[in-house]
Each structure stands twice: as C-alpha cells, then as structure tokens.
Chain A
C-alpha cells in the first residue's frame, strides 16, 4: 500500500494524517465523521459530495485525499458555529429548500462558495442557476434552492 503524509485543517481543526494514495477526499472526510459529505454518483455529476478546499467548491469524490495536503477544508457541519446556523444555512431553512436533505450539505457548500465570491453583486436567477449547475436535487424542483441562494446573497 502506498501512503503519503499530509497536513490539513478540517472545519478549523488541524490534522496530521497518513493517507492511502488511492483514497478520495470524500472517503477521508466520512471516515473521520464528517458525514454531511454524501456520496451520490461518485463521478462528479451530482455535487452531493461538494466541500470547499481553500474556499473553492470541489467534488470530493473526484479529489484524491493526498491533494488536500496543506489545505483548509470546509464541510457543511463546520458552517454552523456555536449552535448558530450560517447565513446560507438559514436561508435554506427559511426558503424551505430542504426535503429529503441528501443533496443539502453539498448545495449549502456550493451556495456558500457562490455567495462569498459574489458578495454585493446583483445577479440574475439564470446566473444563480448556472452557479448551482453542478448539484442535483431529486426532491425540491430547485426553485426554493434558487430562492435561498437569492436571499443568502442579500444577507
């Protein structure tokens, strides 16, 4: 088995790990209890596994764990601080953008990256849809998700 030593920060917590080079970041995160990160397709189609690597949204299923060396990872469970939801999480709740919830952690992270990149800008709904094109949801029909993104951008 080939391994590499990596240092990374997950939701503010520092780790020094020996990882199997065959492992995905998705697997690494779930093994350590960050189970908000979901595996849907495993091939970059659904976005359920979306996390932020140095504030950039990536599909963790198509990301080798060893690439996370010297990076800062954010997952949905880390967005809630001191028992308080993040503005994006709150917007999802208020918009009723959650049904079964399987897609939600990934979408929360996609929206978080989107909002942080576009703070203060006025964007069309079409642009918001494009920014969420990497995430599938089988329940909501997307309208409430775009509503949530719209509100989160204003917060």
Chain B
C-alpha cells in the first residue's frame, strides 16, 4: 500500500485545477514513475494527490494546418516515440525519450512529468530547449502559454504555481523545419540509468555554413540549459575540426557542472566538451552535410 493520505480522481482539467489549488502541497499523479517511487520510499510531501489518469484529452498528439505540433502532457514516452508526427518532424525528441529507463517505465511515464518535476537530468529537456517548446498551462485564473526558457528555476523547481496543470507542449514549425538534430546521453549504463550529462543540438545549414545552431545540456548546471556563448561561435562557421574545437572551448563559459557521486566537476566538464563536438557532428550527419 502506498501511504496516500488524500486522493482525488480528477474528472476534468478544471476539476483538477480546483482541487490542486485548494490544498497547499497537493501533487499531481500522472504516470507514477516518480511519484509512486517517492511514496514507496516514504518521502514526505507526496501524501495528497490529484490523479489525472482519467483525463484522456491530455493524451492527444496532433499537428494543425500551420505545422504546429501539440503533445498532451499525459502522452507516455512510448506513445510519443511511436507517433508518426513526432518521428517525421522532431525525430530527436523520440531519440531522446528512447534513452529513458526501460520499456515498462517508458510505457507509463509521461513527458509532462519529466519536465514538470524539474529534474536537472530530464532526458526530454534538451529536445524541449532546442525545439523551443511552449507549455500550455491551465491555472486558477485561466489558460496561459509559457516558454520552456526560464521554466526551470532550480533543481526540482519550476515556475508552476499551486493550482497549475500543464496541458500540452507546443512546438512551432519555425523551430523544427529544416533543422536536423541529435541527442546524446552519457550515462554509466546503456539503459535504466540517469544521465551523467545529456546533450542535444539542432542545426540549420545554409550551404556549407551554419545558419542557426542550438545547443543544450542537462546536468551541466542547476537547471537544463542552452549555451549562448557556444552557439555564437558556430554562426556562419563551416563544420570543421577547428570550428568544433572553438565550440568545445567556448562551451565552458555556459556551463556550471558540479561534483556528485556520479561524476566529478572536472570529469563532467570533459564530457560536456566532448559531447558538444560529438552531438554537433551527429546532427550534421543527420542533415546530410560533410564533417
């Protein structure tokens, strides 16, 4: 038995929001792969739950005429990975989600949970940052849209307020059209592990030159981050050993890795520099360019 003290099975988004706002400290229960683990471990602060598993409208993955992609917050990792809209337009998202846990965890865990629990290591965060996700949120005052930039405010913390429920992720066409992207997760095991460092890049080429370049990391700072300094060095550059070295040198200014039992600060910085180059090459290969 999980030590659940108070449980409400939400019947609609509005109902969930109302109940969330009513009791301070109430948590949302979606796929359960984090919350139920915490409860099993006896961690405090998870006793009051709003179960959103009855809200099927939060599971939809769709695209409108303009090419904007919507991913419901309750869509499981497997549902996103196997969706055609995703694999055709934002394949790096599927590539990222495939590195999460094992099949059973991916079959129940949701991307809403992965982003909203504020984990510094969230495997979907690099894709969210380079594809510039927007988040459609229902709060007590109504609906609003927030950018992924600034959404994470610290380890385990986000801008979400008591009473906020993430409904869907929104990906605008200008943020994926003509981009090729890639993700690399550096972890100690090939599966069922948490990233030591995660790194994603999206690149748009103009002939031989880089037109737009986006680079993101997880576990490289107190939140998942983009790398403005490193990104600048690639603008207009031709992909070469030299430009990649410049990229790897510049990236140190963007990151703030720390020492944990998983890896030391120095080792993390080494991985960060190595992955910056490697993920860029991979993204370019996806673009069909030379490297």
Contact of A62 among B3, B7, B103, B108 (CB under 8 A): B108
Q: Knowing that A44-B33, A66-B9 are A-B contacts, what are 20 other residue pairs whose CB atoms are under 8 Å apart, sorted by A's residue number?
A: A2-B6, A20-B1, A21-B7, A43-B37, A45-B192, A47-B104, A50-B104, A56-B78, A57-B103, A58-B104, A58-B107, A61-B40, A62-B33, A63-B108, A113-B103, A132-B103, A133-B102, A134-B105, A134-B192, A135-B102
Please give, as numbers and ranges, the residues of chain B lying within 8 Å of A24 by CB-CB distance: 1-2, 36
Distance, CA A113 to CA B4, complexed state (A)? 31
Whether A22 and B4, one on each chain, are in contact in the complex, defined by CB atoms closer than 8 angstroms, is yes
Determine the distance from Cα of A98 to Cα of B51 in the docked complex, in whole angstroms: 38
Docked CA distance A56–B108 (Å):
9
Partner of B32, one of A47, A64, A114: A64
**Interface residues as binary, A119-155 with B (CB distance below 8 Å gives 1, 0 otherwise):** 0000000000011111100000000000000000000
User: From residue 14 to 28 of chain A, which have CB atoms closer than 8 A to chain B?
Assistant: 20-24, 27
CB-CB under 8 A from A66, the residues of chain B are 9, 51
Check B53 for interface membership: any CB of A closer than 8 A: yes
Q: Is A30 an interface residue (CB 8 A)?
A: no
Give the distance to chain B from A26, nearest Cβ to Cβ, in Å: 11
Q: Which residue of B lies closest to A113 (CB)?
A: B103
Choose from A42, A63, A131, A133 the contact partner of B192 (Cβ within 8 Å).
Answer: A133
Interface 1/0 per residue, A28-69 and B, CB below 8 Å: 000000000000001111010010000011110111101100
B190 within 8 A of A: yes
* Among B1, B9, B32, B107, contact of A22 (Cβ-Cβ < 8 Å): B1
- Once A and B bind, how many residue pairs between them come within 8 Å at the CB atom? 83
Most buried by A among B6, B37, B190: B37
On whether the beta carbons of B192 and A43 are closer than 8 Å, the reply is no
The interface residues of chain B lying within 8 Å CB-to-CB of A130 are 190-191
Asked if B41 is at the interface (CB within 8 A of a chain A CB), the reply is yes
Binary A-proximity of B48-60 (CB < 8 A = 1, otherwise 0): 0001010000000
From the candidates A21, A27, A42, A110, name the one contacting B103 in the complex (CB within 8 A).
Answer: A110
Residues of chain A within 8 A (CB-CB) of B37 are 43-44, 62
Cβ of B173 within 8 Å of any chain A Cβ, yes or no, is no
Q: A40–B53 Cα gap in the complex (Å)? A: 25
User: 11 pairs across A/B with beta carbons < 8 Å?
Assistant: A24-B1, A43-B37, A44-B33, A44-B101, A47-B102, A58-B108, A63-B32, A64-B36, A66-B51, A133-B190, A133-B192
Count chain B residues whose beta carbon lies closer than 8 angstroms to a beta carbon of A: 27
Inter-chain CA distance A113–B53, complex, in Å, is 22
Number of interface residues of A (CB under 8 A): 33
Residue of chain A at shortest CB distance from B103: A134
Given contacts A64-B32, A66-B9, A67-B53, contact A27 B1 (CB under 8 A): yes
Bound together, the chains give a CA A58 to CA B3 distance in angstroms of 21
* Contact between B105 and A23, CB atoms less than 8 A apart: no
A57 and B104 form a contact (CB under 8 A): yes
B183 to chain A, nearest CB (A): 16
Give chain A residues whose Cβ lies under 8 Å from the Cβ of B40. 42-43, 61
Interface string of B25-53 (1 = CB under 8 A from A): 00001001100110011000000000101
- Give the residues in chain B near A110, CB-CB below 8 Å: 103-104
Contacts of B41 in A (CB 8 A): 43
Residue of B nearest to A57 (CB): B104
Q: Which residues of B contact A132 (CB under 8 A)?
A: 102-103
Cβ distance A65 to chain B, nearest Cβ, rounded Å: 10
CB neighbours (8 Å) of B33 from chain A are 44, 62
Once the chains are docked, how many angstroms separate the CA of A47 from the CA of B32?
A: 15
Contacts of A114 in B (CB 8 A): 103
Q: How many angstroms between the C-alpha atoms of A63 and B102 in the bound complex?
A: 15
In the bound complex, how far is the Cα of B101 from the Cα of A133, in angstroms?
A: 8
Closest to A134 in B: B102
Q: Is the CB of B9 within 8 A of A133?
A: no
Interface residues of B in 78-131 (CB under 8 A from A): 78, 101-105, 107-108
